[in-house]
Amino acid sequence: MKSVRRVWTFGSMVLALTLAAMPAAAQQQGDKEFTPQVGQAGKDVIWVPTPPELVEKMLQMARITPDDFVIDLGSGDGRIAIAAAKKFGARSMGVEFNPNMVALSNREAQRQGVADRVKFLNADIFQTDFSQATIITMYLLPDLNLKLQPKILDQKPGTRVASHQFNMGDWQPDETANIDNRLAHLWIVPAKAGGTWSLRIDGSAQERPLSLRQSFQMLTGQLNGATAVLAISDARLRGDQISFSVIEGAVRRDFSGRVQGNAMDGTVRAAGSPDMRWSASRR
């Protein structure tokens, strides 16, 4: 049978799959009710295609699993949400402003047998609660990404955000891929670790002030040592996972651990010494 190539809306992370042709009656029903056109105007964007190779890479970067809940912001004809459910077994939801696209998405979910795991919401992405998402996907213009950025940064640490082509200003991606001169970006929402902490290493009664300055997933700061204030280096957040190093005299200590609200704990390692536990509380 002949194959049909469809496209995503410009307001979504695009998944262009080659599908087997549907029965003629089903095609006529869909075409009669609504047939999207490449370049058609939406609320803030237009509808354009995305190569399937790039979409596949974006899904791989997001590390989607059946345990994930994917929310596609600007879901268009529903292709990304449907693929998340059909190919990866995840639950998903598409948010789309155009009611015709929502109706089309629901019909396609039924046709592909995933309507029990995929929902489509006719709504404005800026007025929608997507706090339950573990993965957010989008293909939006840079100014729309920046408008969404504060809300995304309030997501649970570790939430993955995949975007086709466009970035989020000063928030640098954790990972970027280039396929045929098209970019895919991945961000991992970082925990909020900035501030002043009291740090204690097991076996020591002394609490040491730790000062952290945060810019998205990047950290700078200092730790009070036994005799001097020590600059921290190689500091970074990946979701709720934190790592940094300090050098005191000839000894380098590498800290790794987890941020949980106003508490942190983990392991500290130094060459020639056994691993020790450390913990910190925010002042």
Percentage with pLDDT > 90 across the chain: 66
Domains of the chain: 3-188 (3.40.50.150), 195-282 (2.40.128.120)
Residue 130 has pLDDT above 50, yes or no: yes
The pLDDT, as a whole number, for residue 45 is: 66
Residue 10 has pLDDT above 70, yes or no: no
Question: Do 64 and 2 contact (CB within 8 A), yes or no?
Answer: no
Mean pLDDT of 249-265: 96
Q: How far apart are CA 217 and CA 228, in angstroms?
A: 27
- Which residues, 6 or more positions from 111, have their beta carbon under 8 angstroms from its beta carbon? 22, 26
Task: State whether residue 231 is helix, strand or coil.
Answer: strand
Question: Do 196 and 184 contact (CB within 8 A), yes or no?
Answer: no
Percentage with pLDDT > 70 across the chain: 82
Q: Write down the pTM of the prediction.
A: 0.82
Supply the mean pLDDT for the chain. Answer: 85
The pLDDT, as a whole number, for residue 219 is: 97
pLDDT (tens digit per residue) in 29-88 = 344 567 754 545 556 666 565 677 777 788 889 999 999 999 999 888 888 899 899 999
pLDDT bucket at 23, cuts 50 / 70 / 90: very low
Which of 17-26, 118-127, 155-164, 224-233 shows the lowest per-residue confidence on average (mean pLDDT)? 17-26
pLDDT (tens digit per residue) in 151-166 = 999 999 999 999 989 9
Which of 40-49, 52-61, 186-195, 247-256 shows the lowest per-residue confidence on average (mean pLDDT)? 40-49
Mean pLDDT of 229-239: 96
Mean pLDDT of 90-113: 93
The pLDDT, as a whole number, for residue 26 is: 35
Q: How far apart are CA 93 and CA 101, in angstroms?
A: 14
The pLDDT, as a whole number, for residue 47 is: 57
β-sheet bridge partners, residue 224: 229
The pLDDT, as a whole number, for residue 42 is: 58
Question: Which of 239 and 139 is assigned the larger pLDDT?
Answer: 239
Of 69, 91, 97, 72, which is closest to residue 15 (Cα–Cα)? 72
Q: Tokens 């501030």 belong to which residue? A: 195
Which of 71-80, 86-95, 123-132 shows the lowest per-residue confidence on average (mean pLDDT)? 71-80
DSSP string, 257-279: EEEETTEEEEEEEETTS--EEEE
Question: Which of 139 and 223 is assigned the larger pLDDT?
Answer: 223
